[in-house]
Structure 1
Amino acid sequence: MRCEGNPFSRRGFLTAGALGGLGLSLPELLMREAMAEQKSYDFVEAKAKSVIHVYLPGGLAHQESFDPKPYSPLEYRGEMRTIKTNTGEVFAETVPQLAKRADKFSIIRSMTHGEAAHERGTHNMFTGYKPSPALQYPCFGSVVSHEYGPRNNLPPYICIPNVPNEFAGTGYLPSSYGGFALGADPARDGFKVRDLDLAGGVDAERFVRRKQALQMVNSNFVSATAADNVGAMNTFYERAYSLLDTPAAKEAFDIEKEDAKLRDRYGRNQAGQRLLMARRLVEAGTRLVTLTYGGWDMHQNITQGFRSQMPSLDQGLAVLLDDLSDRGLLDETLVMVSSEFGRTPKINTDAGRDHWPKVFSVMLAGGGIKGGMIHGASDSTAAEPELDAVSPADLATTMYRLMGIVADKELMAPGDRPIEIVDGGKLISPLMV
């Protein structure tokens, strides 16, 4: 464990020089270590009560969104024009609504890693770790679920509409910390979350009898085996019962309860309704919501692709920021918009851009993040970081700290191996309130 400002870290104590120099007895050593751990883990101030993680699969082009290069040659800057933000910065013309609200969020223009394959880049951006053949790492939502558990009987980690990829899972943590998937798109007519209503012919009294009978059966299985899937299934059942028994929690999933005019403002489309559902869930008590939108792997016709997909996202994100702010939720809700990597500096022969992990952009808002800032910079052709490079581990460490979780806390992997939640990440302090 590494803890800033803490001279009594675990690794510090385990060095012979530190122990001999301090002259500590074993009881004194253990007492101070316990005090250091308690101070590190229990008393980190949480700025964000919830996170909305908006993930844009495929690799969002930073040049056509938050990091345009208007003075570079045409083959680098592309066809898009730029637009001034309300803070005086410049974005691509694809995000006019967000440009009007640039004072409410910040942009990291210097995200970087070395993985040009979709799967490996996605792993980085969902876990804060490079992929390893030896260990599967848990995603952000599963770690948050592990550290905090449910609130208001809502699942702590929810995916809209489904678990987005294989790296959005529990990794080495027990499977009970997996994400709850809606199973359907809230933009569809007649949207309904699966499994939230009692089966036909089952009234409340019969439900209670079934619950009691199942609990008796499950207790025998759990006491007879330590298998993860048995314990996880028992946990899932208990949480499902809690959800079904709590009308307010069930109502959070009912998007029809929203004012029709507000739904129109978000946009009656995938981006708008998924973002609105995310706001409903964090307002009701969910700790981390992951949602996906669009396909940004634009190897061809990138201008057309952005003009098709970005307007809905631009509108929905802008209204989400307004809505959270109006409800007094923005200061306690971290909104993070990310992708697995960026796109090549130069337009290819098919009028698109290819995979480029060396530099790309991430948007952060609320939950302890300052508004109206640009952190870091790419070079003149958006090819590499020029200033203040940020790694996935840095981003993850910052997100966890804003939630009150110390990122280098050790969790136990199979074989009783202690593994840090994030290894080696640094706080992006200039962006933090």
Structure 2
Amino acid sequence: MRCVGNPFSRRGFLAAGSIAGFGLSLPELLMRQAAAEMKHYDFIKPKAKSVIHVFLPGGMAQQESFDPKPYSPLEYRGEMGTLKTNTGEVFSNTIPKLAKRADKFSVIRSMTHGEAAHERGTHNMFTGYKPSPALQYPSFGAVVSHEYGPRNNLPPYICIPNVPNEFAGTGYLPSSYGGFALGSDPARGDFQVRDLNLSGGVDESRFVKRKEALEVVNRRFTSMTSADNVAAMSTFYERAYDLLDTPAAKEAFDINKEGDKLRDRYGRNQAGQRLLMARRLVEAGSRLVTLTYGGWDMHQSITSGFNRTMPALDQGLSALIDDLDSRGLLDETLVMVTSEFGRTPKINADAGRDHWPKVFSVMLAGGGVKGGMVYGASDSTAAEPDHSPVSPADLATTMYHLLGIVADKELMAPGDRPIEIVDGGNVISDILV
């Protein structure tokens, strides 16, 4: 944590000398100074231990999911019907299973930002910041990894199946806080996490000898350079050793440990098996798991696109909520479903919808979030927020708050520049338990 002022100044040492006579040692004094200076930050008791961030690339339409407009003209509302949730709200009929579990999650219908390009919208939703030509900001996973580090020898930040985009990286933070990518899709019949097992012909004693030899070489090499990528590689090796040496941690990646009935309940497809793997990883100790599913950039034939893509997500998310709840994990696991932006209010000439960042929807479940709530609203044609707009900075601040991370804490960017984790976001307190 960055502290304001310099506790090691000449004045500080003079004060330490005068106070020592009253029984305070220099370490005690410095500890008190640090504690006083850190009162700038409001410490937060975390409600969530982990986050599962489900990102839907391309921009999911709000009208065909969580924010239908059944009373608007056909060219605005689209061809999909609606249904009542178990809380009396109205969702699109594309998500019938989630509608039966609406009491378990909240929907924000007033997400908004100004970036209509895929890359810029993605940047917003992975960092909480608008893109800047001067600085690359760290992703949520990198920040969580930086603040908390590993738990139970599992990587703190894991990506399923791969790091999804350039904005899911470490930004200005050291590379050692990057995401661990599975490298293969859990839905594959031959799924295996790359580099998680010893090479053929290498037994445990041989592995230990190789590790010791590598450590000797690394100590010599790292003493000659301070390059970030060298230090990061050393950290990666150490974490890999910890993982290989911890059977319980390795087992978390073995999706075949799950029974057939549960795997069927999630769905034997990309959405279902990625979500099931995410549950295994947070249950075992990973702090933030990011996964992607589908392609939601439906400029053409949006009805058939949703009919093809949404059922697996509806099934998988519903199974995830049920599974976390039955294991007593929902209260401590934040499930966050986001996308780059929404889609245009009016159906285009190709029966699709185009990019629309002015308003869209996000789903949040567990981890200190109320169930059965809709926050904010779009106007009659889902063109802009009607009230209670929520920015990416607000969403990020709320997520960090639930994890016990102070969003306006300053981290150090290159050049010793203090940069807030999130700049200007507000906690969406109305949706919190």
1:209 matches 2:209: yes
TM-score w.r.t. length of structure 1:
0.93
Do the aligned residues in 2 keep the contact of 1:41 with 1:405 (CA within 8 Å)?
Answer: no
1:383 matches 2:383: yes
Distance in 2 (alpha carbons) for counterparts of 1:273 and 1:432: 29
Distance in 2 (alpha carbons) for counterparts of 1:137 and 1:283: 28
> 2:421 aligns to what?
421
> 1:372 aligns to what?
372
Do the aligned residues in 2 keep the contact of 1:157 with 1:178 (CA within 8 Å)?
Answer: yes
Distance in 2 (alpha carbons) for counterparts of 1:33 and 1:368: 33
Cα gap change, 1:285/1:307 in structure 2, threshold over 3 Å: closer, same or farther? Answer: same
Distance in 2 (alpha carbons) for counterparts of 1:172 and 1:420: 12
Do the aligned residues in 2 keep the contact of 1:44 with 1:404 (CA within 8 Å)?
Answer: yes
Question: Match for 2:95: what amino acid?
Answer: V
Do the aligned residues in 2 keep the contact of 1:176 with 1:231 (CA within 8 Å)?
Answer: yes
> 1:5 aligns to what?
none
Distance apart, 1:59 and its partner CA: 0.1
1:321-357 per-position Cα deviation (integer Å, ceiling 9, x unaligned): 0000000000000000000000000000000000000
> 1:82 aligns to what?
82
- Unpaired runs of at least 5, structure 2: 6-14, 20-29
The secondary structure found in structure 2 opposite 1:234 is: helix
> 2:63 aligns to what?
63
Do the aligned residues in 1 keep the contact of 2:98 with 2:318 (CA within 8 Å)?
Answer: yes
Question: Match for 1:158: what amino acid?
Answer: I
* Percent pairwise identity: 82
> 1:284 aligns to what?
284
> 2:227 aligns to what?
227
1:191 matches 2:191: yes
1:248-289 per-position Cα deviation (integer Å, ceiling 9, x unaligned): 000000000001100000000000000000000000000000
> 2:317 aligns to what?
317
Aligned residues: 415
Do the aligned residues in 2 keep the contact of 1:125 with 1:339 (CA within 8 Å)?
Answer: yes
Map 1:281-430 onto structure 2 (within 5 A): 281-430=281-430
Do the aligned residues in 2 keep the contact of 1:300 with 1:352 (CA within 8 Å)?
Answer: yes
Question: Match for 1:303: what amino acid?
Answer: T
Cα gap change, 1:40/1:399 in structure 2, threshold over 3 Å: closer, same or farther? Answer: farther
> 1:19 aligns to what?
none
Distance apart, 1:38 and its partner CA: 3.5
Distance in 1 (alpha carbons) for counterparts of 2:173 and 2:195: 25
Distance in 1 (alpha carbons) for counterparts of 2:190 and 2:75: 46
1:371-421 per-position Cα deviation (integer Å, ceiling 9, x unaligned): 000000000000000110000000000000100000000000000000000
The secondary structure found in structure 2 opposite 1:334 is: strand
Do the aligned residues in 1 keep the contact of 2:272 with 2:316 (CA within 8 Å)?
Answer: yes
Question: Match for 2:47: what amino acid?
Answer: K
Distance apart, 1:193 and its partner CA: 0.4
Map 1:92-241 onto structure 2 (within 5 A): 92-241=92-241
Question: Match for 2:103: what amino acid?
Answer: D
Cα gap change, 1:361/1:33 in structure 2, threshold over 3 Å: closer, same or farther? Answer: farther
Distance apart, 1:35 and its partner CA: 3.1
Distance in 2 (alpha carbons) for counterparts of 1:215 and 1:320: 41
Distance in 1 (alpha carbons) for counterparts of 2:242 and 2:334: 26
RMSD, matched Cα: 2.1
> 2:22 aligns to what?
none
Distance in 2 (alpha carbons) for counterparts of 1:323 and 1:306: 25
Distance in 1 (alpha carbons) for counterparts of 2:176 and 2:401: 23
Question: Match for 1:312: what amino acid?
Answer: A
Distance in 1 (alpha carbons) for counterparts of 2:61 and 2:393: 21
Stretches of 4+ aligned residues off by more than 4 angstroms: 30-33, 39-42
1:173-204 per-position Cα deviation (integer Å, ceiling 9, x unaligned): 00010000000000000210000000011000
Do the aligned residues in 1 keep the contact of 2:47 with 2:368 (CA within 8 Å)?
Answer: yes
1:69-98 per-position Cα deviation (integer Å, ceiling 9, x unaligned): 000000000000001000000000000000
Question: Match for 1:151: what amino acid?
Answer: R
Cα gap change, 1:189/1:31 in structure 2, threshold over 3 Å: closer, same or farther? Answer: closer
